[in-house]
Amino acid sequence: MLTNHLFTITTPLYYVNDRPHLGSCYTTIACDAISRFKRLEGKEVIFITGVDEHGQKIQRTAESNSISAEEHCNNISSKYSELWNTLNITYDRFVRTTDANHQNVVNQFFNNVKKSGDIYMGNQKGWYCVGCEEFKDISENTERPQCDIHKKDLEWRNEENLFFRLSKYQTKIEQLVTSNDFIHPISRRNEIIKFVSKGLKDFSISRVNVTWGLPVPGYDGHTFYVWFDALLGYLTATLNNGGEYKLEQLERSGWPADLHVIGKDILRFHAIYWPAMCMSAGIDIPTRIYGHGFLTREGNKMGKSLGNVLNPLTLYELVGIDPIRWYLLRDINFGFDGDFQNKRFIDLINNDLANTIGNLLNRTITMSRKWFNNKVPIVTVNGNELIKSKSVHTINIVRKELDRYNFLKASEGIIELAKQSNIYLNDNAPWVAIKNDENYDEVSACIYDVLESTRIIGILLQPLLPNLSSIMLKQLSYSPEKVWANDLVWGKLEQDIELPTPKPIINRLDTNIEI
């Protein structure tokens, strides 16, 4: 397999403690946009997503709902896959850490790491919060410490755990994280560099009191802790291509991942633990880690306690997929935090999609049909070069920015072309010119130019708004190819072909709706 034609991208494996929220949607939609872009650029993409299903927290949630952990995981996992299907996410693999094959991969990986001499038995002791399920960094001499979050007394625990020798990889990890392209965005890279420079400590990879997890081979009572379970899901998913689940098969299956897209909260584990683990297991390390920001709502954190969590499914049923994607991709600077604002959401959709782009398509097709026998005009004179050169310019910008995962800049470029096209129409006023027969050829050229720039807008929107894009192109009687290089050429719209009656490509949102 020609690996340079492959592009492997992953979302995090979402923890199935609760149903999916807008944050996981954001990550997944970003990955979807990247995947679609890469495919359009001619790559063969392996788009991996999935769920992380083990751990005490899940066990406990299941218990509180009086169902088995398996049942709980099945419920929530299907909520995820169903949501991705509803949102038309083009994922190729959906991995569950409860898959039998996953255990197989985990065992192989663990054995490799063990052979490298990087596993040892140690003691994990400290103040432990049952609610948080973690050890707190509080001095041993503290009397009756409490958990800040749960306001409960902490328990002193001294637990036998297996450890991974992360400290051994200090130098290699330092080199890795300081290299230019490994961690994005740069602000986060600096945090990681600083963290690593303070010295890496070994970390525990097993738990003794958690039954809902994968057993560690050779160590009775131990189950793998999250990082030696969940992260390996990427490998399991990569190997899920009809072949054998052998680590030796990874390289010809699309590993290493070209891009792990994750939330900033788990950056350290992906940028430090994970590559060190891969080095130890003798497999290639991923090429790039991209930590994106979090979403707030009207300036506040989204959370159950505030009762302001935005349910993606509700939002979808209210406005459809295009507004959601447009808002997340065009308004949030990928890599930074974003704020979801009701008013801004509505303004953005109505302005960009309905008014600027939608109306451009509508008015241009209407004119073309009205004056050219329901068809695309036949051009006999050269049009103004302005819109053509503007289009070519926009194509370059959008491709360049998408290649950097800068959806915001790419979107702005597209909007700019739509604005220029609207201005071009207003400046040339073909509806005035057409009243004089002498201008017929000139008007043909003008309308064709704008139909063409609108087609290019439709093509460029494919990775960002696949649904809206396809509606636009259908109205322009244009069928795009799988790879967009040939579509992104001026003059591809056939002349003298029928144009159907245009319909609004998206309805304006009522400015009074509450999301």
Site string for RNA, 316-355 (x = CB under 7 A): ---------------x-x--xx-x-x--x--xx-xx--xx
Q: According to CB under 7 A, which residues from 256 to 285 bind RNA?
A: 264-266, 268
Q: In this chain, which of 61, 81, 146, 362 binds RNA, going by CB under 7 A?
A: 362
Establish if 423 lies at the interface with RNA (CB under 7 A): yes
From CA 90, how far away is CA 167, in angstroms rounded?
39
Tell me the residue type at 453: S
Site string for RNA, 392-421 (x = CB under 7 A): ---------------------------x--
Write down the least CB distance from residue 144 to RNA, Å: 19
Establish if 482 lies at the interface with RNA (CB under 7 A): no
Tell me the residue type at 143: E
Residue nearer to RNA on the CB measure, 116 or 355? 355
Residue nearer to RNA on the CB measure, 65 or 486? 65
Residue nearer to RNA on the CB measure, 251 or 508? 508
Establish if 242 lies at the interface with RNA (CB under 7 A): no
Residues 249/233, Cβ–Cβ less than 8 Å = no
Write down the least CB distance from residue 481 to RNA, Å: 25
Establish if 187 lies at the interface with RNA (CB under 7 A): yes
Q: Which residues lie closer than 8 Å to 427 by C-beta, 6 or more apart?
A: none
Residue nearer to RNA on the CB measure, 85 or 342? 342
Cα-based angle 212, 216, 217 (whole degrees, multiple of 5): 135
Cα-based angle 8, 312, 344 (whole degrees, multiple of 5): 100
From CA 88, how far away is CA 93, in angstroms rounded?
14
Q: In this chain, which of 426, 438, 510, 514 binds RNA, going by CB under 7 A?
A: 426
Tell me the residue type at 515: I
Residues 214/200, Cβ–Cβ less than 8 Å = no
Establish if 370 lies at the interface with RNA (CB under 7 A): yes
Residues 177/196, Cβ–Cβ less than 8 Å = yes
Residues 99/232, Cβ–Cβ less than 8 Å = no
From CA 439, how far away is CA 347, in angstroms rounded?
38
Write down the least CB distance from residue 108 to RNA, Å: 20
Q: What is the largest CA-CA distance in the chain?
A: 94
Q: In this chain, which of 22, 295, 425, 451 binds RNA, going by CB under 7 A?
A: 425
Residue nearer to RNA on the CB measure, 116 or 341? 341
Establish if 226 lies at the interface with RNA (CB under 7 A): yes
Site string for RNA, 14-43 (x = CB under 7 A): xx----------------------------
Report which secondary-structure segment, H or E, holds 474.
helix 466-475
Residues 376/502, Cβ–Cβ less than 8 Å = no
Q: According to CB under 7 A, which residues from 66 to 125 bind RNA?
A: 124
